[in-house]
Amino acid sequence: MSELSIKVTIAGRIYPISVNAEEEEMVRKAAQEVDTDIKNLQENYAVKDKQDLLAMTALQLATKLQQVDTTKSNPVQSKDLDKLEKIVDSML
């Protein structure tokens, strides 16, 4: 597995991140989804603070993840939550 250094833009900021080559497309799509969700929240609510928008987006995505896992009757793995936490921490 070769590791790549890529840059993704979320909420108007550029974040460098290292990913496995196999994960690059998935990470880019995820970053785009987060950015789109932030823009949608900003347009639909009177929230201007980027930190609040990031927190609200993280909550929405975590809720979606919980729903998917509940549907599969498979609880969220702690390693998945650790990965999500690392991604969020790298954005702050």
DSSP letter string, 29-47? HHHHHHHHHHHHHHHHSS-
Domain that holds residue 64: 3-91
pLDDT at 88: 79
CA-to-CA dists, residue 58 to 2, 37, 38, angstroms? 28, 10, 10
Give tens-digit pLDDT for 43-92: 999 888 989 999 999 999 899 888 887 666 555 566 777 777 778 777 76
Give the predicted TM-score (pTM) of the model: 0.69
As for how many domains the chain has, the answer is: 1
